[in-house]
Chains A and B, each alone.
Chain A
Amino acid sequence: GAGVSQSPSNKVTEKGKDVELRCDPISGHTALYWYRQSLGQGLEFLIYFQGNSAPDKSGLPSDRFSAERTGGSVSTLTIQRTQQEDSAVYLCASSPRLIYGYTFGSGTRLTVV
């Protein structure tokens, strides 16, 4: 596609429910990144994919968070048993190579009530 597409754009969920956030990167971009943006906290790195493998999962905040990427394209970030502190904007970015910088999606705003 022309840009990085994320869905849904907004998600309200009850505490304890599981949620799935989807990212569709730019076609041909081998690297895909997930970040979390909380108010006043900047961008917190979560996980990075090169193709379908995740060389760096160091940013996932707990074992309730997981992510996968299939076919070197679409990625899904799953949060199990959501907590209120998970409320944030989840941003996805893709890149052909890091020196080109990232192209970001518009994000998914997750609200846990």
Chain B
Amino acid sequence: AQSVTQLDSQVPVFEEAPVELRCNYSSSVSVYLFWYVQYPNQGLQLLLKYLSGSTLVKGINGFEAEFNKSQTSFHLRKPSVHISDTAEYFCAVSERGSQGNLIFGKGTKLSVKP
């Protein structure tokens, strides 16, 4: 069975600083990986996804993530955050080729301070 671990429940950071949100997954088969963002009182929005090919994936709002198969990780990064990036971020995994559901981590709350 697949699982996702987001190692940090909360990450405080100052505006314009870099940030990394960590995600590790467990799966016995090849996977698809996703990051979603949830702004306060809103639904979840897809940030980026890894399906195959290049291990560095670029998404919306300047975010990127790197798939590391040996480390079973898919960490999310941004070189310089803005106040507007304050939100909760969810990592998710699915079995490659599956048409079934995504398994989500418990989320990381990013708080950007001026």
Contact = CB atoms under 8 A, between A and B. Distances in A.
Interface stretch (A14-22, A37-45, A73-81): A37-45
A105 interface: yes
A45 B4 CA distance: 13
B75 interface: no
A68 interface: no
Interface stretch (B19-27, B61-69, B79-87, B93-101): B93-101
B90 interface: yes
A91 interface: yes
A27 interface: no
A80 B45 CA distance: 30
Contact of A101 (B34, B42, B106): B34
Interface of A: 4, 31, 33, 35, 40-43, 45, 48, 50, 55-56, 59, 91, 93, 97-99, 101-107
A42 B107 contact: yes
B43 A91 contact: yes
B46 interface: yes
Contacts of A101: 34, 36, 46, 49
Given A99-B51, A101-B34, A104-B44, A48 B101 contact: yes
13 contacts: A42-B106, A43-B44, A45-B101, A45-B102, A56-B101, A59-B101, A98-B32, A98-B100, A99-B49, A99-B51, A101-B34, A104-B36, A105-B43
